[in-house]
Chain A
Amino acid sequence: MNLSPETAGQAALEIENVAFSYGPRSVLQDVSIRVPVGAFCVLLGVNGAGKTTLFSLLTRLFLCRQGSIRILGRDLHSNGRKALAELGVVFQQPTLDLDLSLRQNLQYFCVLQGLDPDLAGTRVEQALRDIQLIDRSGDRVRQLSGGQRRRLELARALLHQPRLLLADEPTVGLDIHSRRAILEQVRAASSEHGVGVLWATHLVDEVRPDDQVVVLHQGRVLVQGPAEAMLRSTAAETVEEAFNRLTREEAA
């Protein structure tokens, strides 16, 4: 892991006591999550657990009225623009412009991040090489497969070299090879460049024993810590079994 002394041990993301509701319907209750710099943290939850709402709060699409959110120590409410500059996001819905080319999509993102044109050109070139789509850089995104689009979105989210990456179920609907390629791409960014990752998913097979895991269920955090510790505490042999036990216990 490539961490500088000043960032080692620092939290890429700190969520403290966050609550949110749509009118009278409470969606998140007293949620606290910490993602260290360089850690790969899986946010596990079934559909409707509150993951996407939490992501909307983390990306300032919704305002966090209860609790606090800090990215690299910067409060999202009072220092939002600087906090957002440290953030890369892959949303649940695809956000690529299908009528623009791969290169144009990446260049557009660089502009939105305020990157210098020369630097942007270099990074776009490198990103396209990294995901092995350099030969298709002039093609319209519409012509890519679902897996290729997701890989392009991930590469785009890392163009400005953020310290925190949020990914909201980016592998849903993809085949097993595409899922594996995307996971490898993100894990490499996390371990080689010290990017903290919050990876929301309901696909439990994406969890590795050394990952940090947060189980979100009905808007509350049930468990937080290393996946191995979760297995021990639930006396389960697999993450799926542990997850099922935790969420069933809660339902009972």
Chain B
Amino acid sequence: MSPAQYARCLFGIFTREALRFVHQRERFFGALVRPLVWLFIFAAGFRSVLGVSIIPPYETYILYEEYIVPGLAAMVLLFSGMQGSLSMVYDREMGSMRLLMVSPFPRWYLLVCKLTAGTLVAILQVYLFLAIAWFWDVRPPPIGYLLVLPALLLSGLMLGALGLLLSSLIRQLENFAGVMNFVIFPMFFASSALYPLWRIRDSSVPLYQICLYNPFTSAVELIRHALYGQVNPEALGWVAGALAVFLGGAVYGYDPARGLMQRK
């Protein structure tokens, strides 16, 4: 296989994911409505309850809406990653995953292609969300929209890799409800997406520690800082490390020689 064939494979898988996403309109609107509900309703309701002090990267007091936008952008990536996981389990049960697995390309490469394609589609959703948020007066510096791209890519890959890993562990579609309860919600709420971590520390130090080591917190902070033109090295390190661990686990899980696919 030549580099051109590898590139075409990646492009082909991305095209398929994008077409599927566009054709499934409910999924498209669902993905967009979820963060908008949080922004328009939740944030408006909690604006006066949850005051935010000046914390990096912000240089002045901000409205609560502005605080939660990076967290909601990360939420889009989180749900997209888990949706990808669900579709992998569905595809495996229904058969189309098998088509991917019998391709002569290396299996790890196909998984990376699938992961990258899903992440790129999710990033399109994030930008759409950020565009709507702009009209809601959440306006980071213009350069932030460009600088946030690598942060979104890395965070999206990390959360997508987590989804891939989970999909290799889940045997049946019915078990996916457990993922919602035990992965998505705890990850989202035990993070800095909705409230600054110092507020959590004031309430519970153990919970603060959990939030601190939650890779989703790192993803949120990476995106938050990038959106305001800054780099958060600690968050960057955590997200990159988590990506390596989750992707390694997913490749292991889908390897017929070592993985978990043969359990029955």
Q: Which residues of A contact B (CB under 8 A)?
A: 22-23, 59-63, 81-82, 84-85, 87, 89, 91-97, 99-100, 104, 107-114, 117, 140
Partner of A60, one of B96, B99, B102: B102
CA of A241 to CA of B75 in the docked complex: distance in angstroms? 62
- Residue B20 interfacial (CB < 8 Å): yes
Q: Which of B1, B19, B257 contacts A100 (CB 8 A)?
A: B19
Question: Does the CB pair A61–B95 fall under 8 Å?
Answer: no
A62-B261, A99-B19, A100-B16 given; A113·B104 CB < 8 A = yes
Of B6-14, B195-203, B218-226, B244-252, the one touching chain A: B6-14
Contacts A84-B102, A91-B95, A113-B104: A63 and B256 contacting too (C-beta < 8 A)?
Answer: yes
Interface size on B, residues (CB 8 A): 33
Q: In chain B, what residue has the closest Cβ to A86?
A: B104
**Contact across chains for B102 and A63 when beta carbons are under 8 A apart:** no
Instruction: From B5, B13, B93, B99, name the one whose CB has the most chain A CB atoms within 10 angstroms.
Output: B99
- Residues of the A chain whose Cβ atoms lie less than 8 Å from the Cβ of B101: 59-61
Instruction: A108-B15, A109-B99, A111-B12 are known; give 18 further A-B pairs, CB within 8 A.
Output: A22-B263, A59-B98, A61-B101, A61-B261, A62-B256, A63-B257, A91-B98, A92-B95, A94-B94, A95-B94, A95-B96, A99-B24, A100-B23, A108-B12, A111-B9, A112-B12, A112-B105, A114-B9
- Taking CB atoms and an 8 Å cut-off, the chain B residues in 235-264 that contact chain A are 256-257, 261-264
A97 & B96 in contact (Cβ 8 Å cutoff): yes
- 8 residue pairs A–B, Cβ–Cβ below 8 Å: A59-B102, A60-B256, A93-B93, A96-B96, A100-B16, A111-B8, A112-B110, A114-B5
Chain B positions within 8 Å of A, measured between CB atoms, are 1, 5, 8-9, 11-13, 15-16, 19-20, 23-24, 93-96, 98-106, 110, 256-257, 261-264
Considering the chains assembled together, what is the distance between the CA atoms of A73 and B1 in angstroms? 20
Per a CB cutoff under 8 Å, which of A63, A100, A104, A112 touches B9? A112
Give the residues in chain A near B5, CB-CB below 8 Å. Answer: 114
